[in-house]
Copies of this chain bind each other. A is one copy, B any other.
């Protein structure tokens, strides 16, 4: 069978990891293409791949693309003959890229829910406002669309599915915990696009508990966790994409997402939020200039990609899943530990970008191999987890599990 051409959209920190990983696994694909609003950023990533020596004899073609225009996306898919599109651009482009894939007949992979620039923390289930209504179009077009195939959402959804497949008859709770115990050495920085980062936390925190959506404020509910490698860490109940899909597959289970924050992050966030500087709504300066405060905050903060060289320490992201098997209650913690320095050495990115950028490549490989080429729209938990997690283990993101039998690889 002919290897599928692949088109990567985006050229930020996550896209850099994705491009490096596609290059490392070039044998799985046909021609490789990258497109971004600013083509020079894609060119810089291609240069960084050449510097690693991965791409000897490999051609990666870059393109300038306005991905907010579905017709232009479709045209580029046709021009490049891409059969798989990996969307690792901003979450604002999901719908137009997906429409382009439907029109031109290419598989679609993304790593986050679509966002409208003027809305934050939309009402649940958020996927129902954007992607899920396009299920019929995806099926009619006969393409595969895998939503939220980063780490969280993505790998953590597969962890839940692994618990369903291998550990429990019934799942009663899924607590996803995301701890970054790394140190970037800056006074303050976000680990990915500040605009997207802050938008996650400025609105209502939705969790799925007792069969219903529950609303909280950010930093209202904190809990101390004691996790492998990173140790004791405080994480706070937060809204996150995967809660919106896992609650649909596991409606009888509680689904919560916990994000670790230090006191310094919380202080900076609180100051910016209370002043109105995290607002996605435009304000007018005394001189009459209309500007979105959050975009100015993004402009003054360090580019997350620039943190990579100095980043040390580790991340731990996992699912604490509780459930019953043969009527007996039990729990399992399924997790990955990633290292910022190792990520930088391998692909020139920090650990947060690494954990987000590798999984969509694994998904693309599974589509290319036919394992995940399901010809419909799915979230990651709708697909068999083990092939994905085993492939990720080979690709640098091994999965471990802690249960009554100890701490071991899956």
Contacts and interface: CB of A to CB of B under 8 A. Distances in A.
A297 B268 contact: no
A267 interface: yes
6 contacts: A188-B275, A267-B271, A275-B300, A277-B297, A285-B295, A286-B299
Chain B CB count within 10 A is highest, among A267, A272, A299, for A299
Can you tell how many copies of this chain the complex includes?
Answer: 2
A276 B303 CA distance: 13
Interface string A269-286: 001101111010001111
A289 B295 contact: yes
Contact of A296 (B195, B274, B293, B301): B293
Contact of A293 (B271, B287, B300): B300
Interface in A357-389: none
A285 B271 CA distance: 21
A291 interface: yes
A300 B276 CA distance: 6
Query: Closest 7 interchain pairs by CB?
Result: A276-B300, A271-B271, A283-B299, A285-B295, A296-B296, A285-B299, A187-B274
Contacts of A195: 286
A298 interface: yes
Contacts of A187: 274-275
Given A188-B271, A275-B297, A285-B296, 13 more contacts: A187-B275, A267-B267, A267-B271, A268-B275, A276-B301, A277-B296, A277-B300, A279-B300, A284-B299, A289-B289, A291-B299, A293-B296, A293-B299
A226 to B, nearest CB: 30
B300 A286 contact: no
A293 B277 CA distance: 10
A300 B277 CA distance: 7
Nearest to A187: B274
A134 to B, nearest CB: 27
Nearest to A270: B271
A327 B101 CA distance: 91
Given A187-B274, A188-B274, A275-B188, A286 B268 contact: no
A287 B296 contact: no
A356 to B, nearest CB: 19
Nearest to A271: B271
A271 B272 contact: yes
Contacts of A292: 285
Contacts of A283: 296, 299-300
Contacts of A271: 188, 267-268, 271-272
A157 B227 CA distance: 62
Contacts of A298: 285-286
Contacts of A296: 277, 283, 285, 291, 293, 296
A289 B297 CA distance: 13
A104 B276 CA distance: 44
